[in-house]
Chain A
Amino acid sequence: MGVVPLKDRLGIAGLFDALIFLAVASLVSVSLIATLSAHVAPVEAVNERIEAAHTVLLRSTVNDSRGNPSTVEELFKLRGPGDGCEEHVTSVLDLLLPRSGWRWSVERGEHRWAFGSKQVPNGDVICSIFRAPIDGQEVTYRLEAWPLR
């Protein structure tokens, strides 16, 4: 083995330093991207999930005060909640939104009904709102959900 020329030694050292620098730069940039994007992807997924749960709840049927099956949307649009409505809403949203706190409210003119948690906590709360027109008025269905810690 001969003596490695100074030029070659400098080149190998430069290559080694550059690889170390690139490895550290990759780690830093990837961890930065992961940190920034980590907040975006789950919020989109949770938002989609809450919209889907709200749609499914509104289309599900429950017996009205006369014992006839009616969708939850129509029930609040035409009359008001009957016996067993609160139990229905609670059991459906507990099933569809596991590990989440929720509050579901309906507003029709001066009437207002609310189910679920009494208070909405501070922090990230995802809200899904459906509006349905009826006789010049508007019925607003609002589902607010948040992750339970």
Chain B
Amino acid sequence: MDREKGSAAERYQASTSHWDMVKDRRGWGGFYESIMAMMIVTAGIVLITASLTFMAAHEDRGRGGGPECREVIRAVLTDRTLAPSDRMLDLRQADKVDWTSLKGGADIGMSVFLTFADGTTRTLYREDMQDQGERYSISEPVNILERGGTVSASLLTVWVWYP
């Protein structure tokens, strides 16, 4: 009897270890499987982050101008020497503006000019532009305070390029 019992127990143990092996082959739960799961999740996060980063860079270009270009035009519009109020530029103060400081320390070339409704332009700051390389421009509507209390409408344009 004991021999038969022992034989049955051995047969049962052998069968369960066989099914454990089958489950282990086709299922989850092992050390290597957990490593693989973490790798897959990490790869997914990396892929989505990279895609969103490229998409954000594409949007930056779509909005017009690079990030430095927008920083420069924002600096011009908020410079209290040149802009006494929102979108109002006092050109009598243009000579007192430290234009290079508006770059914010970035190693870029820059030109700033105004276009008026009659088609004339006025250059506020200019550096020699290179013929090649990445260049960006951005424009914003502004009022220009002139002598005699007249206020004209103008388009402020900033060009930025990377030397």
Contact = CB atoms under 8 A, between A and B. Distances in A.
Interface of A: 6-7, 10-11, 14-15, 18-19, 22-23, 25-27, 29-30, 33-34, 37, 41-42, 45, 49, 52-53, 55-57, 59-61, 69, 71, 88, 91-92, 94-96
Contact of A53 (B47, B63, B141): B141
Interface of chain A: mostly helix, strand, loop or mixed: helix
A96 B143 contact: no
Contacts of B44: 22, 25-26
A10 B23 CA distance: 13
Contact of A56 (B55, B143, B149): B143
B115 interface: yes
B117 A6 contact: no
Interface in B116-163: 116-118, 140-143, 148-155
B40 A69 contact: no
B36 A56 contact: no
Interface of B: 24-26, 32-33, 36, 39-40, 43-44, 47-48, 51-52, 55, 59, 62-63, 87-88, 115-118, 140-143, 148-155
Given A18-B40, A22-B43, A56-B87, A30 B62 contact: no
A23 B51 CA distance: 10
Contacts of A56: 87, 141-143, 153-154
A30 B25 contact: no
B117 A59 contact: no
30 contacts: A6-B25, A7-B24, A10-B26, A11-B33, A15-B39, A18-B40, A19-B40, A22-B40, A22-B44, A22-B47, A23-B47, A25-B44, A26-B44, A26-B47, A30-B48, A30-B52, A33-B52, A42-B63, A45-B63, A55-B87, A56-B141, A56-B143, A56-B153, A60-B151, A60-B153, A69-B149, A95-B116, A95-B153, A96-B153, A96-B155
A6 B143 CA distance: 75
A88 B47 contact: no
